[in-house]
Amino acid sequence: MLVLNNIEAVYGGVVLALSDVSLKIEKEQIVVLLGANGAGKSTALKSISGVLKTEEGKLTAGSIEFEGKRIDNRNPEDIAQLGICHVLQERSVFLHLTVEENLLMGAYLRKDQAVIKQDMNKVFSYFPQLVNRRQQKGGYLSGGEQQMLVVGRALMARPKLMMLDEPSLGLAPGLVNELFVILKQINTREKTTLLIAEQNAAISLSIADHGIILQNGKIGFSGTAAQLIDRRNIKGYYLGEKSEGNQDLQNKTFYR
């Protein structure tokens, strides 16, 4: 479904944020990007959605293909119409719109008006906490409710690929667990492919098929979720520590 071919991303013509990053994502997979702050996770998602161009960023090498079409030269609005939805880290809720109005904004590109109400009810079934808030303005929701709202709004677009940037950020552990259970349900029931950038390795790998660890803008390690759940590998590649058995893995890639 999605292929990144040796991409390189630069901000302001000076700051190298990604270097020689390649990955492949198949339909209906859940893939997580792991790494510390500044590792390049957000930049990778922005490169795919085209948002990088709005932040003085630029792809200076490589290419990105979605369903066989090259998209790295397209604008964000064109990429969105192809079925890619990007849930930003900032929880960009429309503060002065109600919950229902926020959800309807997610469906603004759709033509099937008769089905939109059904899909809104589906969102409320995934996030029942929002039902009693449906006429409240987004700015009055809690952080957890706002996160539910932006995911629900993305779902209203019926995306083929949903990308989420640090969805666990600032949430209580119980809410994090609940959110990731729902993300897995969305993947299974709606057949939506998910690409999730996260620092919480344990919770994201618990629902993932594959994981990729970024270090300083480069892929340090990639493999199945089971391989990355191995704590020794996480320490060696995610935290930059040395541990027995990691040295031989330095130059090997398990992700396909």
Give the domains, in start order, of the chain with CATH numbers: 27-56+71-83+159-256 (3.40.50.300), 94-152 (no CATH)
The distance of Cα 14 from the centroid of its chain, to the nearest Å, equals: 26
Of 12-21, 87-96, 126-135, 224-233, the one with minimum mean pLDDT is: 224-233
For residue 165, what are its two tokens?
A: 């940037």
For residue 46, what are its two tokens?
A: 């922005």
Give the residue-averaged pLDDT of 17-31.
96
Residues 167-191: pLDDT tens digits?
Answer: 998 889 999 999 999 999 999 999 9
pLDDT over 90, % of the chain: 75
Report field, pTM of the whole predicted structure over 0.95? no
The structure tokens 């390690």 sit at 221
Residues 63-105: pLDDT tens digits?
Answer: 999 999 999 989 999 999 999 999 998 778 999 999 999 999 9
Report the pLDDT value the prediction gives residue 235, as an integer from 0 to 100: 56
Q: Output 121 or 228, whichever has higher pLDDT.
A: 121
Distance CA 46, CA 166 (A): 13
For residue 162, what are its two tokens?
A: 């949903």
Give the residue-averaged pLDDT of 6-20.
94
Beta-carbon count within 10 A of 89 CB: 15
